[in-house]
Amino acid sequence: PKMTFSFGAEYKFAVAADWDMTVRGDYYRQSSSFQRYNNQWFDKVRAWENVNASLILDNHAIDMTVQFFMKNLLNKDTMVGFAIADENLGAVRTPYLQEPRLYGVSVTKRF
């Protein structure tokens, strides 16, 4: 691609005696690109973007972290690239798609 752009921001603050909260957001954008050297229209991948967010709770007294996250908030069905088989095999294209929206929770306890 001619251009990729990534931006992330987070804000951390105390919410209780031993708890800190961090709110984070990330944005990524990539311009269109070609998947082979000859730059033909059928080898082009459109520009695409992605947004992720997370909320992190840290307790320093018990050394534990709880993270709530969302990946691909836009939930777009986006082709981010593809593999092209050898031309002797028909130049079959195998697309790589952006993962669908994902919600999750992660708990980490250190000993």
pLDDT category at 11 given cuts 50, 70, 90 is very high
Residue percentage of the chain with pLDDT more than 70: 99
Side-chain-side CA neighbours of residue 103 (13 Å): 0
* Angle in degrees, CA 62, 71, 68, rounded to 5: 20
Residue percentage of the chain with pLDDT more than 90: 59
pLDDT category at 55 given cuts 50, 70, 90 is very high
CB 97 within 8 A of CB 82: no
Average pLDDT score, the chain? 90
